[in-house]
Structure 1
């Protein structure tokens, strides 16, 4: 969705990704900015004593020189110690992505230092240059792929690359970032590894008159400043940066890894003015846009309806495809071109939305935003740190943020990763920094109706899902892109009904985002009501909610947790269940609803109604957006782990039985009362059984069988401690079942 601008970011900003990879349009020997071979071997020996990781970044260095026009020339160096075979596998292939519109790159050298200290250079023809474009996006992205020779455990990878900027992003301005870790993407498992770093050294040389603003993130460090007659040289040195073991639901890497952002831009109005030069020409008046607007905006429509009409049109008719070769990644096409081609990337779609809304006299603006989780936005440090564009709309009565780049997002299409983020709204003044709204549990609701039915002594069930907010978008997307619709439906619905196979299902069209997405499934022949049984039990385990709608069903053990646990998507799950009478004239013999659970992390509550047609239960699970600190993870883990033990309900219906003993017979003997209590227990009338057997024990406290039945009845009532006492008393009296 955001590739068009992210490719530019990888070129100008020295992000952790750009430090990973090696870019090689030319292979040439250039002086190293790194340690000598002898020094690297000494560092390897130190690393083996300091770290136990399977790889260690021995040295990571950057040398950046910025000229008076803001053009950058940089050398980046990495030396990586490969300690075992897992690291050999993970580091066996290196790739380098860069934007050839703005940059030229070369490899200065790439080699392997064997465990014995032998240096093996990579051959110049061991590099493959391919396009880095993927899916439906085409631009100047290039990618070099290569493997280093004779890599084995104990080796050191050493390489250096040089980048020369050839075109400006913003005239006479410069911005970048320094990152101290080497983040290795592992595409085979869609995962990252971040190994410890023994040392880093970064230098920045700028003209003496150039003023640089510097902001640190997740690190306290001040550069050493050296001045010459013509330049200022900033130097940052660090040692022993720890590695990061990734965890599920951890904070964003940008909230953990140390980084420094730097910029010469004094005010956000500079970026606003720069983008206006690219954006305003796209709004050239065109007959095709006017005619389309006339068909979209019917007489009597209010502003909200007009905005939604444009959104729906874009989602149905304009595909997300980026074609931006030789355009640099930031310049959108004319709105009329986007309309005629019926495709465009995020910025193309934005300019068409704005042009259409202009026909309805609705003011709309492009908004620059960084979609990466945790991406930093500092109001006091203007820089071009954006990878996505959406539309901001402000009417007399409401404000809207629209994003039509997602194929499954319903109006207004804002992805979860964009919530609560700051964006630069580009206008014809100086620009405005605004924060996108976030959603709550009340905005993301899954309503599940589970209706059991009886058909000729056979129990069937139907499960129907109605969805809103992000939960709808997620399940809609899951159904749309799953190759097997039945398997996808079962993965969603089956856990909600004892993990049974569904008999058949139906769902609304996941591609049509103008209509709510719904999914329902039938489960036939769940159980048979035979002549021999005299009671029927309905049960349900609400912990299924965790596996279907949250990531809480497989939490890491407490001892293994290192980072805060982040719940980004708040959700409400409502389960409405109906349990009909299994026989005409049957009665409810036992009712044990699941317990209400309310703690500081989530809640699960139940409302139970007995009606003439059966039992009606409405259960509500609420999980807010939150960050659970490591110190609170033990309590959180315990609350989640205990939920299944408190989330089971049981309802027992009794078959009409005219021969049942009379519980009101006050003249009954102790023996008959014991028999009556046994009968009630067999009928699952646990509360009545407890009442009868308590009367027996009150008359004869030394009756062992009565004490045993008391223990059973108390156990069914959930009074476990008293139940154990009764069983012990029965054993003391010599009773054996």
Structure 2
């Protein structure tokens, strides 16, 4: 085949699926790939084939390489392994993968492999669904991205009983209509494509179905069938047993307790008594344990906890239903055809006259009530009920905003500057920090480091920080810190939006602009609010040397304002990131706008003593120490009167000062100044001459 790619190219992508009348299936897949550069050789050095070992079996039929010199090399027996993946604390896994490394993968090599995937247990025999695409997805050597290379020839064949109805939907350039043959009561359907372009995978790109050739198949289009199947698995478990009644008694709820009090009591009980464990091992992930088993074991997975929570809520008279949801990690699937797209279960509580609807997720480790991730709005959900259920999207109405409020107070004293910082968090900011605090082994040091990042690294400072409420179910976590700037500082302090952006936004990791092919999507809007107050000493006057400017565009807005109040100055900085869906050209503009943020002026505020107040205090101090008729008191009196504009009055104490000490150059200089402002020009010039004669230099 003619070379079509400088990196790697799939020569043949061929799959054949046979669907039996009983719902069982077998799929044979074959791929041959030509390696055209060293980077591709590294990426294809190890190949993974994932599968679910509870529901299916996977067999590697063969794997070979053909060198540039024409030598055929077969896979060595000790170069292939089948292993369980996932796992970890509180997590059992039914996911596995075949891993193998082919010999002599170098520039010019053609590698080929074939595997057979066969059903073993059927989750829902009435439902068969499949997605086919020309591409083989290969992880890069650094495991930080995937590649989907150019495909010369693609073929997908589906054989099923002629009487079996198969629903089909094609995306992008994938043909929808198959070539069909009827053979001995079987329908053989064939789809083919040639010269399929490489698919570049980028961060924040659209869903796969929007950009790749893809064929989706299913035996169902009615989600009520899936609802009824799900309901029959849990309906018999939602009974109010004596054990459930005893738990409710321990809640000690008042007879007139509100719905929200009851919901919180259930949430708190499960958080404190039922540990989350991915515990569906041997059950395929769709069958929940009975609440009595969950209570006895003190652990359960999402289905177990949901069934227990719904049982408790119903016993308390609160309308609640299990809800199957597709998390953002799993994508945002099309719903024209029925598939088992859901990877999580939680509790749906419909709105009442006194509150909005609640999506309750009890599986988090001391997560803030109601526990559901702020990345769930807009995700697919199937509310499971006895009357057909409801396929919907998780509504954003009951979610708090994703928001950071940072309050920074600077206090200026005689020797240095102190700062007090309080950071309040909402939405996914709160959820991330709460989880991070629980799982980080060096959290205290990392928190200090994060806060120090707000300031110039050349500044020496001491910091004491803490994160509060990480175990509280109803109070958001809050960060606080006390900072001492150790070295003596000028009494000029600053504030910049990048202090809060660098801490909580992810602009430092934006995807590169060069050669971007797909739209850039940021689904979740957020707000960063920074309030800074500079507290001066008594008598200080704030002076703004430099102020920050507003900056607004289609992607985000930055609003800044400042206000003086007595001996303090307050700055409000509000950054709001919008939800964006940008073409590559628009993304380039967005990237430039983000870069421009780093170049915006910093607020600079200096605290200076009020001259009149300073001079009044000095006069009182000199009078107390040396007496009201002393040289020092008269000099201080002159300075105050000059500041007040009382020029003629200032001449009197100035003359008295020269009489006390005729050789005091400062006294003659102050007298000359008072005389000059009083338009006594001859006398002023004579006094200036006398001061100069005495060698006084102001």
TM-score tier by shorter-chain length is: 0.7 to 0.9
Distance 1:238 1:217 in 2: 13
Cα contact 1:320–1:345 (8 A) shared by 2: yes
Deviation at 1:662, TM superposition (A): 7.0
Name the counterpart of 1:67: 20
Deviation at 1:594, TM superposition (A): 1.0
For the structure 1 residues 605 and 259, does the alpha-carbon distance in structure 2 shift closer, same or farther, using more than 3 Å as the test? same
Cα contact 1:194–1:243 (8 A) shared by 2: yes
Stretch of structure 1 that moved more, 409-418 or 651-660: 651-660
Cα contact 1:95–1:145 (8 A) shared by 2: yes
Distance 2:104 2:336 in 1: 48
Name the counterpart of 1:179: 133
Cα contact 2:227–2:384 (8 A) shared by 1: yes
Cα contact 1:112–1:156 (8 A) shared by 2: yes
Cα contact 1:490–1:502 (8 A) shared by 2: no
Aligned residue for 1:68, secondary structure, equals coil
Root-mean-square deviation (Å): 2.8
Deviation at 1:82, TM superposition (A): 2.4
Name the counterpart of 2:427: 469
Deviation at 1:427, TM superposition (A): 0.7
Pair 1:459-2:417 in alignment: yes
Distance 2:240 2:643 in 1: 89
Distance 2:371 2:155 in 1: 43
The one of 39, 58, 61 aligned to 1:108? 61
**What stretches of structure 1 of length at least 5 have no aligned partner?**
1-42, 667-737
Name the counterpart of 2:253: 298
Name the counterpart of 1:320: 276
Count the aligned residue pairs.
614
Deviation at 1:591, TM superposition (A): 4.8
Give the 5 Å matches for 1:201-240.
201-229=155-183, 230-240=185-195
Deviation at 1:556, TM superposition (A): 4.9
Name the counterpart of 2:450: 492
Aligned residue for 1:528, secondary structure, equals coil
Pair 1:517-2:477 in alignment: yes
The one of 431, 438, 454 aligned to 2:389? 431
Pair 1:603-2:563 in alignment: no
Cα contact 1:297–1:306 (8 A) shared by 2: no
For the structure 1 residues 218 and 279, does the alpha-carbon distance in structure 2 shift closer, same or farther, using more than 3 Å as the test? farther
Deviation at 1:448, TM superposition (A): 0.6
TM-score (norm: length of structure 1): 0.77
Cα contact 1:570–1:625 (8 A) shared by 2: yes
Aligned residue for 1:645, secondary structure, equals coil
Cα contact 1:198–1:241 (8 A) shared by 2: yes
Pair 1:573-2:528 in alignment: yes
For the structure 1 residues 134 and 617, does the alpha-carbon distance in structure 2 shift closer, same or farther, using more than 3 Å as the test? same
Deviation at 1:489, TM superposition (A): 0.8
Distance 1:454 1:140 in 2: 60
The one of 315, 336, 348 aligned to 1:380? 336
For the structure 1 residues 482 and 218, does the alpha-carbon distance in structure 2 shift closer, same or farther, using more than 3 Å as the test? farther
Deviation per CA, 1:410-456, whole angstroms, max 9, x where unpaired?
22222244211221111101121121113799712211111111344
Deviation per CA, 1:88-142, whole angstroms, max 9, x where unpaired?
3322222333233322332221111122122112244543233224113225433
Aligned residue for 1:137, secondary structure, equals coil
Distance 1:442 1:425 in 2: 22
For the structure 1 residues 140 and 438, does the alpha-carbon distance in structure 2 shift closer, same or farther, using more than 3 Å as the test? same
Deviation per CA, 1:161-189, whole angstroms, max 9, x where unpaired?
11222333323432111122222235854
Deviation per CA, 1:372-406, whole angstroms, max 9, x where unpaired?
45735444322222222222112533321122233
Name the counterpart of 2:494: 539
Distance 1:266 1:247 in 2: 31
Distance 1:133 1:588 in 2: 58
Q: Bigger relative contact order, structure 1 or 2, given CA contacts below 8 A and separation 6+?
A: 1
User: Which has more radius of gyration?
Assistant: 2
Give the ranges of 4+ consecutive aligned residues of structure 1 lying more than 6 Å apart after TM superposition: 439-442, 659-666
**What stretches of structure 2 of length at least 5 have no aligned partner?**
616-638, 648-698
For the structure 1 residues 646 and 662, does the alpha-carbon distance in structure 2 shift closer, same or farther, using more than 3 Å as the test? farther
Distance 1:401 1:486 in 2: 32
Aligned residue for 2:599, secondary structure, equals helix
Stretch of structure 1 that moved more, 652-661 or 366-375: 652-661
Deviation at 1:256, TM superposition (A): 2.9
Cα contact 1:444–1:471 (8 A) shared by 2: yes
Name the counterpart of 2:32: 79
